Amino acid sequence: EMCIRDSSIKKKGSSALTIFGTSQLQREEMVALLNEYYMMLPQDNRDRLGIGIQQQEEIRAKLPPPETFENPIVNRRKPVELQSRLQLFKAEYMEHYLQRQSSGQRDQPVIKMCQLVDKSLDEGVNLEDFDLSDCDPPLNDQRISVIVDVLHQVNNTVGDPEQFSENIYPKSLNLEQPINEKITN
């Protein structure tokens, strides 16, 4: 329905949506845009929703062909946030500690582990040697367990082989930590 000051669109049921525009042209453009949007819906959806459109043939003639909106475009690569298993490990590892901190725990990630991951990513090489010796603070069972759990989780994550590179190949592991000696006087 078109009124002098505003436009009303009757919806299925008793309510109506009122569109206010600063000019008659603006109101007409808003209604035309809604009609074009609704014309892109399949006919059965429009019938089910009770959407009636006047001048359907004129509107249909202005719209691009429906094939334009078919999904997916053949052989189009999907956008990916993480491109490698090592990036996924880093994201999951840091997320683990962020969740622990948000629940009030003061545990922190192993800095040396983060440095190993960053160095491998920066240099574009595989992470093969896990040298976690002489960590500060020293490694404990809980920190080692977190690293192993996240590695296991990441290893079981399926990624698109065309877009997700494998770059974690453990060959060596060094967990040597300094011995805490008590000095007595």
The pLDDT mean for the chain works out to 78
Amino acid code (one letter) for 21: G
Separation CA 117–CA 129 (nearest Å): 11
Separation CA 102–CA 141 (nearest Å): 22
pLDDT for 1 equals 41
pLDDT for 183 equals 41
3 state SS of 60: helix
Judge if pTM exceeds 0.75: no
Tens-digit pLDDT profile for residues 99-131: 887 778 878 889 999 999 999 998 999 999 999
Name the residue with tokens 């008659």: 24
pLDDT for 21 equals 65
Tens-digit pLDDT profile for residues 25-63: 877 788 788 888 888 888 888 888 888 787 888 888 888
Query: Binning pLDDT at 50, 70 and 90, where does residue 68 land?
Result: low
Beta strands (DSSP E) in 11-92 are: 16-20
